[in-house]
């Protein structure tokens, strides 16, 4: 399914965090999981109008991997698949 977000909305797929800590400890599936903070951009809106009425272009594009606010985007499910949707303001950084 294709998405065409409106305004400055962004659709993200959560990126799974590593199941092994830096020190080599393997976390079991039953370990309490935190909300994701990394995601891959799968759709972006055209941008948000600024004070003069011109559309401010988006800073992110499809395919970018980003860090976002832990409780910023909302979780939604479409056709059995989970997505995160939020505003561009929920995104903190683009990972290189």
Task: Give the model confidence (pLDDT) of 74-85 as tens digits.
Answer: 999 999 999 999
Residues 14 and 40: their CA atoms lie apart, in Å, by 7
CATH number, span 9-16+28-95: 2.30.33.40
Q: What is the β-pairing status of strands 55-56 and 48-49?
A: antiparallel
Q: Please write the tens of the pLDDT for every residue from 18-30.
A: 566 667 766 655 5
User: pTM of the prediction?
Assistant: 0.77
The domain limits of the chain are 9-16+28-95
Residue 9's pLDDT is 95
The average confidence (pLDDT) of the chain is: 85
């Amino acid at each position: 399914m294709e998405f065409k977000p409106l305004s400055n909305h962004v659709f993200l797929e959560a990126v799974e965090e590593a199941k092994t800590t830096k020190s080599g400890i393997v976390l079991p599936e039953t370990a309490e999981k935190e909300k994701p903070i990394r995601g891959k951009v799968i759709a972006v809106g055209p941008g948000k109008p600024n004070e003069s009425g011109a559309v401010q272009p988006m800073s992110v594009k499809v395919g970018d991997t980003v860090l976002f606010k832990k409780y910023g985007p909302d979780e939604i499910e479409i056709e059995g698949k989970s997505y995160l949707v939020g505003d561009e303001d929920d995104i903190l950084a683009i990972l290189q």
